[in-house]
Amino acid sequence: MTLSGLLTSQLIEELGWTTLSTTVGITINMILYGATAPFAIHSMEKYGIKKIVVLSLVVLCVGALVCTINSKIVFNLAWGILVGLGCGALTMSFGALFARSWFKRTGLPTGILTASAVTGQFVLLPGWAKLANEFGWRAPLIGCVVLTVITLLVICLLLNEKRSAIRTVTAYHLKPDSTFVDVFVNLKTFVKNKKFWVIALAFGMCGATTNGLMWSSFTPAANMEGIPIADASYLLLIVGVLNIPGTIGAGWLSDRINKQALLSVIFILRGASLIWLPFILTQPVGWELIAFAVVFGVFDVATVPPVINLCNQIFGDQGPSAFSWINVAHQLGAGLVALTGGMIAFITGSYYMLWFIAGGLCFIAAVIVLSPYHSEQPVQSVSP
């Protein structure tokens, strides 16, 4: 997913594309990354986890291969639809489903699962950037195809009852008689609850100030200011590494302190770092940008465990399903900001204003999460 910013920069350099050339595909990708999750979870419960995981990885592999075709239309369709669907089926909601299945206190395990996902998104970027510089823009996509094929082999060989006991968990959730209509029946129940809307609004602003920025806008923004793509990728590597203690720590804290207060502090500190960024992005990579990467990394995805924990407390066994729909709002926010960033850069020649808009959204979210409608009190009993 984080390849979008790197690919945009490479396509501008090598093929003369503009920031708008990939904006539509990136926006569709981010929206589907969220919108796919409720249906993916339903499918895992109906058809089994392994089948949906394999299908998602195959779609992802095909999408990455199709993206190597030198065509703006093909790239936007493949990146937007195929890669969006493939990644969306294995998003944070996937982790929420497992955490709810195995653990009574979901904060810490959710933090670890989220940290692993974000680490995969960021840690590989410097390697992809080096490949792109040496072999061209197609190299990172081919590298992802290779990793996907390896993952498929591992899944086919190891994801079975004998080696992982995963079938027992799948059987517990198996709903062979369910239909896709049930997905919307659950949504109808959620939208009647004010707490759902408050969490969704705040999480939408979360997506706007994380995925919508760092995945698609940071690398081209840094490159416009004279920072090499490789250096920008190393900064994102720092963000990814610091996500590990930040997200795990937030998960541990969400099991022990008020989640609303925790979320508010995270949003305030994230917003402050984003307001600082435009003043230091014009400088060569030094301690200021490294400090930004450290601070932003700690609070980048730290909102996810508290939000999942809130969903599990408020909606009980329907918590993962509720979170999957709330994650749609997260990705809608991300997609809108990715689109906005591309338009701002195209019109003004800089992403300068985008960082102030994102910082302001963080401060608004910090207030929203303190709303009385964002209470941790359950609306229905939680199954033991």
Provide the pLDDT for residue 230: 80
Provide the pLDDT for residue 380: 44
254-256-261-267 Cα dihedral, nearest 10 degrees: -30
Q: Residue 81 contacts by C-beta under 8 Å, 6 or more apart in sequence?
A: 28, 32, 63
| Domains of the chain from N-terminus onward | 3-371 (1.20.1250.20)
Q: Read off the pTM.
A: 0.74
Alpha-carbon span 91 to 41, nearest angstrom: 10
Provide the pLDDT for residue 379: 46
Alpha-carbon span 319 to 376, nearest angstrom: 13
Provide the pLDDT for residue 101: 65
Matching residue, tokens 């997609």:
335
Q: For 275-312, what is each residue's pLDDT tens digit?
A: 999 998 888 788 889 999 999 989 988 898 888 888 88
Provide the pLDDT for residue 381: 38
Alpha-carbon span 27 to 336, nearest angstrom: 7
Q: Residue 121 contacts by C-beta under 8 Å, 6 or more apart in sequence?
A: 1, 2, 215, 240
Coil, helix or strand for 254?
Answer: helix
Alpha-carbon span 77 to 97, nearest angstrom: 29
33-35-36-37 Cα dihedral, nearest 10 degrees: 90
Residue 5 corresponds to which tokens in the numbers above? 């910013």
Q: How many CB atoms lie within 10 A of CB 336?
A: 17
The long-range contacts involving 147-151, CB below 8 angstroms and separated by at least 24 positions, are 148/57, 148/60, 148/61, 148/64, 149/61, 151/57
Provide the pLDDT for residue 334: 84
Provide the pLDDT for residue 162: 63
Q: How far is CA 178 from the centre of its chain?
A: 28
pLDDT by residue, tens only, the chain of 384 residues: 778 878 888 888 888 888 788 888 988 888 888 888 888 888 887 777 788 889 999 999 999 999 999 899 999 999 999 999 999 888 777 777 776 666 667 677 777 777 777 777 777 878 888 898 889 999 999 999 999 999 999 888 877 666 555 554 455 555 666 677 878 888 888 888 888 999 999 999 998 898 778 877 888 888 888 888 788 888 888 888 888 888 888 888 888 888 889 999 999 999 999 999 999 888 878 888 999 999 998 998 889 888 888 888 888 777 778 888 888 888 888 888 888 888 888 888 888 899 999 999 999 999 998 876 555 555 443 333
Provide the pLDDT for residue 170: 55
